Amino acid sequence: MVEGWNDAAKLVAGRQVYFLEVPGASSAAELSVVSFEAVERLGDPYRVTVQLTHPLGLDRAEYLNRNATFVINAGDDSEPRKFAGWISEFSKTRQTRDFCGYEIVVEPLVSRLKLTQASRIYQQKTAPQIIEAVLRRHDLKGHQ
């Protein structure tokens, strides 16, 4: 008897182990991951570039700047690896009669800070207080 979701997933042939979750995007359930490249560097936010296909043409506005999570499920009993963040890039790469190809880039929410340019002077504040002030100004919570 199947005891849990992971056991049931192992029994289903052809189930993808990589997938993209985009809350609020109704067409996200039919996305099929073709390939991906995850880049993690010391001191830099990660960047996950995902090649996808979908049977229909997607609306760029439904995905770009939306929160998303790219999940890698190893298939064993280990916890899935998740890259949570936002979709910073969205492009259509090809179109055939059967499907459309897309490239989506997922980056952590903190990477939005690189899109701003502001100069401020902080007087009589500690480094942690300055960091917290910058993060709060950009609507990032402590757990992000």
CATH of the domain at 72: 2.30.110.50
Residues 103 and 114 occupy one common structural domain: no
**Are 129 and 79 members of one domain?**
no
pLDDT for res 36 = 95
Alpha carbon distance 139, 112 (integer Å): 10
| pLDDT tens, residue by residue, 82-130 | 999 999 999 999 999 999 999 999 999 999 888 877 788 889 999 999 9
**Residue 114 structural domain:** 110-144
pLDDT at 3: 52
Same structural domain, 99 and 143:
no
139: left (phi over 0), alpha (psi -120 to 50) or beta: left
Statement to judge: residues 9 and 77 lie in one domain? yes
Residue 10 has pLDDT above 70, yes or no: no
Instruction: Examine the domain organization and report whether 95 and 122 are in the same domain.
Output: no
Residue 141 pLDDT > 80: no
CA-nearest of 83, 108, 85 to 18 is: 83
pLDDT of 4 reads 53
Are 11 and 26 contained in the same domain? yes
Give the pLDDT confidence of 41-74 residue by residue, as tens digits. Answer: 998 999 999 999 999 889 899 999 999 999 998 8
Same domain, 76 and 15: yes
Q: Total structural domains in the chain?
A: 2
Give the model's pLDDT for residue 29.
86
